[in-house]
A and B are shown apart, each in its own frame.
Chain A
Amino acid sequence: MIWDLDLLILLLVVSCALAAITVKDLLSATVIFGVYSFLMCLLWAEMGAVDVAFTEATVGAGVSTVLFIAAILHTSRRSKD
Chain B
Amino acid sequence: MKALALVATLVTGAILLYGTMDFPAFGDPNAPAAVHLSNNYIEQAVAETHVPNLVTAVLGDYRGYDTMFETVVIYCAGLAVVSVLRRSKS
Contacts and interface: CB of A to CB of B under 8 A. Distances in A.
Direct contact between A and B judged by beta carbons closer than 8 A: yes
Nearest to A49: B55
Contacts, number: 4
Interface string A24-53: 000000000000000000000000000100
A51 B55 contact: yes
B27 interface: yes
A1 B27 CA distance: 9
A51 B58 CA distance: 12
A54 to B, nearest CB: 10
Interface string A47-68: 0000100000000000000000
A3 to B, nearest CB: 8
Contacts of B56: 51
A51 B51 CA distance: 15
Contacts of A1: 27
A1 B28 CA distance: 12
Interface of B: 27, 53, 55-56
